[in-house]
Amino acid sequence: MKFIKRLIRGARYSEKYGHHPGTEMLVAILVCGAIAGLRHGIWGALAGFFLAAVFAVPLWLIGCWERGE
């Protein structure tokens, strides 16, 4: 449970660090993945979104972990 609480603290606004700087980039990468998959319809867009999430979300969570101390 401490693990999840630390990730949530890192994802939120912090007095020490401010907003997580990677959140906007994460959203942009996920949207780009969905747009790239749109050529193959809604299922392609979902597949592109989730494929981008597989690579981008772990990096974002590492940043949350570091900021959550």
Which residues, at least 6 apart from 2, have a Cβ–Cβ distance to it below 8 Å? Answer: none
Q: What is the pLDDT of residues 9-62, one digit of tens each?
A: 989 988 888 888 899 999 999 999 999 999 999 999 999 999 999 999 999 999
As to burial, measured by CB atoms within 10 angstroms (0-12 exposed, 13-18 middle, 19+ buried), residue 10 is buried
Residue 41's pLDDT is 95
User: Residue ranges of the domains in the chain?
Assistant: 2-67
pTM over 0.75, yes/no: yes
Instruction: Report the distance separating Cα 67 and Cα 32, nearest Å.
Output: 26
Cβ-contact 8, 61 below 8 angstroms: no
Structure-token match 């999430």, residue found = 53
